[in-house]
Amino acid sequence: MKPESTKSFITNYLGCLFERSRLEKHTIKFGIDWIIYNNCIAQKWRPIRLPFTRQIDEQSPKAKTETEFGIDASFLTEELKELVIFVLKDEPLNNKSWTGANFDLDLRKAVCPDLRDPDLNNIELVKIILAYNKDDDHAGVELFSRFIASAPTHIRRIDKQEIPLIIERWNLDRLVDEVIGHLLTPQLLPQHISGILAYQCELVSRMEYGSKEWANLVIPTWKNLLSTALTTPIDERKLRSIPVCLIILKQFQNTSDPSSAAGWIDLLEWAMVSMWDACRKSPEEKEKAIVYDTWIQMYLAELDFYIDASIGVLTTQHGICGRQRAYGHLNPINDAYKAYWMLGRIGIFLVALPEVIDNETEAGQALIEQNLNKYADVLAKALRLNPAFLRPLIDLHHIELFLIWLIFWQTARIEEIYLFLNELETRLLFRRLGNASIPFIDGRNQLDLVAEYAVTGEKPYGFTEESSYLLLMLVELCFSLPPDKCIFLIEKYFNRLINGLDANGVRYIHRITGQEVEPVALCWWASPKDWANRIMTETVKDGVSVTISDNYDHPISGEELREKFSKFVQMTRERFPFESNFDLPLSVFLLASIKHQSPLPSELWRTQIFPTNYTVGTTVENKS
Amino acid sequence: MWSQRAIDISTVNNILLSIQPIPETAKRIWQQTEYYLVDRINEDVSHFFNLFVDLCKKNRFILDTLGQHKFSHLMTTIDNTSVDRHICELLVSHDRITRILGIRLFHEIKVSATFNILTLPKPDESILELLLWEFIGTSLLGNPTSKLLTLIEPLYRGVNPQLRNDFKNELVFQAINYPGSCLDFWKSLKTDSALIGDAIIIADKYFDDKTKVSLSSANSFGFPGLTDLVKYGARKFSEKIDSSVKEKSLLRMLARNIQVIYGDAWTLYNDGSINPPSGFQNISHSIEGPRIEEIDPEGMAIRRIHALSAINHANPSDTQIESQ
């Protein structure tokens, strides 16, 4: 992350904190007192007075209600020679707050501290710091300066020795500098989060992304932290604490491990999904703005950086390739896993671009077009140079295939769509017939079974290649092509790949089993009405499954298939209309679907290919 | 002592050919046939190859078993005989079966890549094109691949630009597929061949580009469980090797097999005495696997099918032979 982004997020976080941390009506209020306390502890200062009682077994310290005499917190520096007194305010320093928020009153009290504590017998300097987590204006600064000019410059120690008294102010920027200098650690966060975050940092520093430990330990712990931090009622502080957690986590990233960059993206994504879900629970537009801001400045910015750094791999021949030989065609399986991971991220980024760039202006439109074309070029090259991109392993990879199509569709690259779908059909056919040593697509999305099949050469129990939502999607995508190419491809897909019939209408024989290949059942899925609500928090696979029951033992003409599938689209839309409300950007739903391993509702591509006034025989107009 | 044969060799050959195809299951007959063929090659290499080609045309079984190390006695004999010229003649034959036999013999025997194929009559470019397709449609390991391509490369120097380019692309492909057996071997030749030189440059660039991105984050992770499956796969592979060694090793079959679990030296206690311990000997054999089969297995299968389609399209009357 760029330093200025880090600073921006820390500034926003510190700027929204209260003065005091406390538990109030079962909700933890985050305060700058906790920041000051931990900042001083980080510098090995000894607390003399704190505004709260530390409670180890509780989620938050308990605020003191005693009279403070203007002093919120005081510390002895490490050498025990300097007493630092903090006067804390969560107000801006201006003319109004100077008296209205008791800046003046508290400072006047603070310049007369009680030095009778034996620990203070040997101090040589007293420093009073007015710390406020807001900005200031000229009048406020002037008032403060005049106060200093009239304030005492020395103070008498218990032994009557006169020691210097200095008065400083820390505004928001200074507080941010202090935090960046000393406190970019889990202790920056409130007590109920800092412990989990410390553990999370340790895990991230040691676990490799993609390992079982990452899946079984790092991510569940991270999700636990996110749910702990984002309890209802959602407020600004809770939302802003998440990017801060991420900034701290990033420091613990094991940069010597190349996989850590992908792990960082993974953590970011889970955080974003949680934040988007959280902001829905708040009626305040301000909270949505915070999440939107984090989405753009943190997630999309980091994703852009990651994709840019990875372009070399995508556009190098066989760039996506296992580094060590592994028996049993595990490398092609893992290569496909990496490729589809990358495809998902590129797709999300390119869908998000028009959502965040102002496309009302010429400059905005030009920027969107420039980026879309740039990545469409990269994708076209990647598909040619890296065969892993044409190797979907599980039915859920329909999401990434849809994104490939969408990128080309948005950039009006119809020929690329045709080449992509055509090549994909051929490669899938070879797998289906046992000619390519890679198993066919597993309909139940069990990647472990796909890998086991590749290693052993034997189909494991539970491996499902007889049903497919992915293949149905590919057939529907063919409708985005001109009629002649659409007909040609639909024929290939349905007769050869799906029905398993050669040009003479004879069923293919599987090369390994020696048996005739069975037709694949095309299964359409009607998502539940609350899909959009639930996808942010869970896998959504319920709803209605509609299987196309027509099986043919002879090839069907492309024209007939075109009509058949058009009618199918029309009927399913009428019978099971898509009613979920896209109240968040589409890219967020795509991300949530990928993270929760959830299928996409077909309306996402149907709405582009089959406009509501579509009739059979019309050529779809690309209005992207 | 018999100074004359009771029957003419050519008559025996004709009988052998006329009784084809002998089924694969007639192991005793095939064993005797193999001894007969060994005698023929020891007598006259040219006549042997004529007979062998005719046999292959009559019986697919022989062609199909090449590469599976059957007829090991015959192959060893061929290997110990100077047959480079004959192999090359097979490669550039007008007949498809003959060409395939020539290619598949590279699997079984050590053909020298130093034979000057230009000493033979230059074949038509159409034959060279078919030879190239035949090669693509066949799967050879690294060493035979590099030897064969090195051997036939001079034939492609003066051909039409399209064919020359296709051959160069194949050289590049195999240099990438077998960097040890092909790329390193061709570099060691220090040849002045422009085709091989260009292929080396392109293949070197391929590997340089890959090295630059090999440590990229996008290439550095796996799916959860991959590590365990890699170990499992390695075990399955070892199991296969072990069982096939057991099948073929008489010693393993007859002798007791003891797994030594501790120690780096071993001895036996027998009849009240212990022999001096002896260390272990490491016996290993390595072969270079085809890289592209792992990177793009679908693509390799498509490549072979396309090659066979091109051959069948060029010569529809020829026997359609599936790729191995």
Which site among B213, B288, B303, B309 would you substitute to test the A interface, given the most A Cβ atoms closer than 10 Å to its Cβ? Answer: B213
| pTM, to two decimals | 0.92
Q: At what angle do helices B226-248 and A447-456 cross, to 10 degrees?
A: 20
What type of residue is A57?
Answer: D
Q: Which pLDDT does position B129 carry in this prediction? A: 95
Which site among A265, A308, A318 would you substitute to test the B interface, given the most B Cβ atoms closer than 10 Å to its Cβ? Answer: A318
How far is B220 from chain A, CA to nearest CA, in Å?
A: 5
Cβ–Cβ below 8 Å for B229 and A319: no
At B1, the pLDDT band (50, 70, 90 cuts) reads very low
Q: Which pLDDT does position A469 carry in this prediction? A: 97
Q: Which residues contact B13 (CB under 8 A, 6 or more apart)?
A: B51, B54
Nearest CA in chain B to A310: B218
d(CA B149, CA B168): 10
d(CA A295, CA A352): 10
Could you tell me the maximum CA-CA distance found in chain B, to the nearest angstrom?
79
Residue B89 has pLDDT above 50, yes or no: yes
At B252, the pLDDT band (50, 70, 90 cuts) reads confident
Q: What is the mean pLDDT of chain A?
A: 92
Q: Which pLDDT does position A283 carry in this prediction? A: 80
Q: Which of A240, A255, A241 is nearest to A204 (CA)?
A: A255
Nearest CA in chain A to B297: A436
At B247, the pLDDT band (50, 70, 90 cuts) reads confident
Cβ–Cβ below 8 Å for A334 and B223: yes
Residue A616 has pLDDT above 70, yes or no: no
Cβ–Cβ below 8 Å for A330 and B230: yes
Q: Which pLDDT does position B171 carry in this prediction? A: 97
At A622, the pLDDT band (50, 70, 90 cuts) reads low
Q: Which two tokens stand for residue A31?
A: 């305060």
Give A550-588 pLDDT, tens digit per residue: 767 889 999 999 999 999 999 999 999 998 888 899 999
Cβ–Cβ below 8 Å for A258 and B230: no
Mean pLDDT, range A401-413, rounded to an integer: 96
Nearest CA in chain B to A342: B218
d(CA A17, CA A236): 9
Pairing verdict, β B278-279 and B265-266: antiparallel
d(CA A175, CA A178): 5
* Least confident residue range of A66-70, A199-203, A205-209, A426-430: A66-70
Which SS3 state, helix, strand or coil, does residue A32 take?
helix
**In contact, A137 and A94? CB cutoff 8 Å:** yes
Helix (H) or strand (E) holding A489: helix A483-491
Q: Which pLDDT does position B318 carry in this prediction? A: 59
Cβ–Cβ below 8 Å for B210 and A321: yes
- Better pLDDT: A287 or B315: A287
Cβ–Cβ below 8 Å for A455 and B229: yes
- Nearest residue, CB atoms, B213 vs list A261, A316, A435: A316
Mean pLDDT, range B265-276, rounded to an integer: 89
State whether residue B241 sits within 8 Å of chain A by CB: no
Q: Which pLDDT does position B200 carry in this prediction? A: 97
% of chain A with per-residue pLDDT over 90: 80
Residue A413 has pLDDT above 60, yes or no: yes
The tokens 């890219």 sit on which residue?
Answer: A587
Mean pLDDT, range A153-170, rounded to an integer: 91
Residue A328 has pLDDT above 80, yes or no: no
d(CA A401, CA A475): 12
Q: At what angle do helices A470-477 and A398-410 cross, to 10 degrees?
A: 10
d(CA A568, CA A550): 12
| Alpha-carbon separation of residue B23 from B11, B20, B27, B105 (angstroms) | 22, 8, 9, 22
Q: What is the mean pLDDT of chain B?
A: 88
Q: Which pLDDT does position A561 carry in this prediction? A: 94
**In contact, A107 and A147? CB cutoff 8 Å:** yes
How far is A427 from chain B, CA to nearest CA, in Å?
A: 6
Q: What b/e sequence results for A208-246 when a residue is b if at least 16 CB atoms lie within 10 Å of its CB, and e otherwise?
A: bbbbeebbebbbebbeebbebbbeeebbbbbbbbbbbbb
* Chain B environment of A317 (Cβ under 8 Å): 206, 209-210
* Chain B environment of A333 (Cβ under 8 Å): 223
Residue A69 has pLDDT above 80, yes or no: no
Q: Using CB atoms within 10 Å of the CB of residue A358, give its burial: 0 to 12 exposed, 13 to 18 middle, 19+ buried.
A: exposed
**In contact, A543 and A526? CB cutoff 8 Å:** yes
Q: Which pLDDT does position A159 carry in this prediction? A: 84
What ipTM, to 2 d.p.? 0.88
* Chain A environment of B305 (Cβ under 8 Å): 435
**Cβ neighbours of B83 (radius 10 Å):** 23
Q: Which residues contact A547 (CB under 8 A, 6 or more apart)?
A: A467, A521, A522, A523, A524
% of chain A with per-residue pLDDT over 70: 98
- Nearest residue, CB atoms, A310 vs list B210, B216, B299: B216
Q: Which pLDDT does position B2 carry in this prediction? A: 45
The tokens 């340089």 sit on which residue?
Answer: B208
- Better pLDDT: A413 or B115: A413
Give A144-158 pLDDT, tens digit per residue: 999 999 999 999 888
* Chain B environment of A435 (Cβ under 8 Å): 301, 305
At B4, the pLDDT band (50, 70, 90 cuts) reads low
